[in-house]
Amino acid sequence: MSDAFALSLPAGLHPAYDGRVSTPPSDEALARRASAGDTAAFEQLVLRHQHKLYTLALRVTLNEADARDCVQEGLVSAWRAMPRFRRDARFSTWMYRIVLRKAYDAIDKRRRTAEPVEAIEVVTSDASVEQRIDLERALEALEPEFRAVAVACDVLGLPMDQAGELLGIPPGTVKSRLFRARARLAAILEPEHSE
Amino acid sequence: MSNEHTTPPEHEEIARLLAEQGPVDAPPDLAANVMRQVHAEPRPARRLTLLPSPRRLRPALAYCAAAVVLVAIGFGVAHLGANTTSSSGGAAAEDMKAAAGGTRGALVPGVAPQLGAVTIQGVPVSDALRVLPASDRAPFEAIATADSTHSNAVAIDVPAAKFDALSRKLHAAAARSTGGNRITIVLRRR
């Protein structure tokens, strides 16, 4: 398959392997280039982080359209703010924070213009899909702040200090909120699983 | 109340569920849409950096402040030294030196400096005895008999009318002298 894309170079022009292993540029290096207006560097950052950013937005807003808007608007805002990005902050945390703020805004907006949501009807017999829907319902029952902690720590796998940085709370508060979020999720899911 | 320092098994199960089922892929056109908007945006303006940021300037500012303090201390010490010299009668001594002409810089130990006084060094004692009025000769007669190597200085108060003439005569005598018993004379205006 890969041979189909191989270019045949004239004799003597085959690039010799020089023994060096090229490592992908770090987020910080790409952010530096993006701050100087390099859109290609920014695109690499978008491709690298889009799934985690979307996960965060979707799990916090619990709405695909909102999540999509949050990430899109968040990334464009990040591009505009690139020249002001502080080098001492972790780039990924900075982007997560922008998207999370958008997600909270979307939740507030939805609360102000609340519309009755029809109950989701499960039309599948696949156990894993059912379990997924259960988890989403359980997440919905959590307050956004507790949901964000569970998503940051358990879904995105961020360490406590980084999650605290993202959420703007001390690591101790992250720990206690995570404990309560898990307890609440366990309480919601347990009766359904035991059936 | 639950103990938050331990992780109950059901919590581990929740964490596992979230880790397994939590992550979702972004819509396939998300990145392309974002980049389309980014390309449509005006290029982000870089901050105009005519001067380095205060954070980068901080070490340089510290060095500058230290240099200013050192220069100020040096300046202060230099002035303190000058003031110390003048406070011990330096001003009067300077005036004396200025008036003394060829004999400037001759501060005579044991003779209080006085404004308008003249110090004449190396005046032969014999000439001093000849030139001075009889009333002022007493100190010189003692000196004339003393050891010639002994350093002596005499202050004489002279009436203002005779001051200049006497000063000229003593200067002339000092200039002529080639050796012998010599003395430093401080003429003070009476």
ipTM entry: 0.72
Q: Which CATH architecture has domain A1-115?
A: Orthogonal Bundle (1.10)
Task: Report phi then psi at A149, rounded to 5.
Answer: -65, -45
Q: What is the DSSP letter of B7?
A: -
What is the predicted pLDDT for the residue at B98?
A: 41
Instruction: Say whether residue A38 is in contact with chain B using an 8 A CB cutoff.
Output: no
Q: How far apart are CA A46 and CA A71, in angstroms?
A: 10
Q: Measured between CB atoms, which of A59, A154, A176 is closest to B19?
A: A154
A118-195 shares the fold of A1-115: no
Q: Measured between CB atoms, which of A35, A68, A185 is closest to B27?
A: A68
pLDDT tens-digit map of B53-93: 666 777 888 888 999 999 998 888 877 755 554 444 444 44
Q: Which CATH architecture has domain A118-195?
A: Orthogonal Bundle (1.10)
What is the predicted pLDDT for the residue at B101?
A: 42
CB-CB neighbors (< 8 A) of B44 in chain A: 35, 37, 79-83
Alpha carbon of B53: minimum distance to chain A alpha carbons (Å): 12
- Residue among A75, A14, A66, A11 nearest A43 (CA): A75
Do B156 and B117 form a contact (C-beta atoms < 8 A)? no
Task: Report phi then psi at B183, rounded to 5.
Answer: -145, 155
pLDDT band at B33 (very low <50, low <70, confident <90, very high): very high
Strand (E) or helix (H) holding B158: strand B153-158
pLDDT at B136 over 60: yes
Instruction: Say whether residue A190 is in contact with chain B using an 8 A CB cutoff.
Output: yes
pLDDT band at B2 (very low <50, low <70, confident <90, very high): very low
Residue B190, both tokens: 């009476």
Taking CB atoms and an 8 Å limit, are B34 and A72 in contact across chains? yes
At residue A180, the 3 state secondary structure works out as helix
pLDDT tens-digit map of B139-149: 655 555 544 44
Instruction: Say whether residue A39 is in contact with chain B using an 8 A CB cutoff.
Output: yes
Domain ranges of chain A: 1-115, 118-195
Distance of CA B164 to the CA centre of its chain: 39
pLDDT band at B105 (very low <50, low <70, confident <90, very high): very low
What is the predicted pLDDT for the residue at B49?
A: 54
Q: Report, as an integer, the average pLDDT of B2-10.
A: 58
Instruction: Say whether residue A141 is in contact with chain B using an 8 A CB cutoff.
Output: no
- Residue among A143, A122, A119 nearest A132 (CA): A122
Residuewise pLDDT in 10s, chain A (195 residues): 444 444 444 444 455 555 566 678 888 888 888 888 888 999 999 999 999 999 999 988 888 999 999 999 999 999 988 888 777 678 888 899 999 999 999 988 887 776 555 444 444 445 555 566 677 778 888 888 888 998 889 888 888 888 898 888 998 999 999 999 888 888 887 755 444
Q: How far apart are CA A117 and CA A62, in angstroms?
A: 12
pLDDT tens-digit map of B172-188: 888 887 777 788 888 88
**Closest alpha carbon within chain B to A82:** B44
Instruction: Say whether residue A35 is in contact with chain B using an 8 A CB cutoff.
Output: yes
What is the predicted pLDDT for the residue at A68?
A: 94
| Other C-beta atoms lying within 10 Å of the C-beta of residue B177 | 16
Alpha carbon of B55: minimum distance to chain A alpha carbons (Å): 12
**Closest alpha carbon within chain A to B45:** A83
Taking CB atoms and an 8 Å limit, are A154 and B2 in contact across chains? no
Considering chain B, what is the average pLDDT of its residues?
71
- Predicted TM-score of the model (pTM): 0.52
What is the predicted pLDDT for the residue at B175?
A: 87
CB-CB neighbors (< 8 A) of A132 in chain B: 21
Taking CB atoms and an 8 Å limit, are A183 and B11 in contact across chains? yes
Beta-carbon contacts of B12 under 8 Å, excluding residues fewer than 6 positions away, are none
Alpha carbon of B54: minimum distance to chain A alpha carbons (Å): 14
Alpha carbon of B63: minimum distance to chain A alpha carbons (Å): 25
Q: Which of A129, A174, A177, A179 to mutate to test the interface with B (most CBs of B within 10 A)?
A: A179
CB-CB neighbors (< 8 A) of A47 in chain B: 31
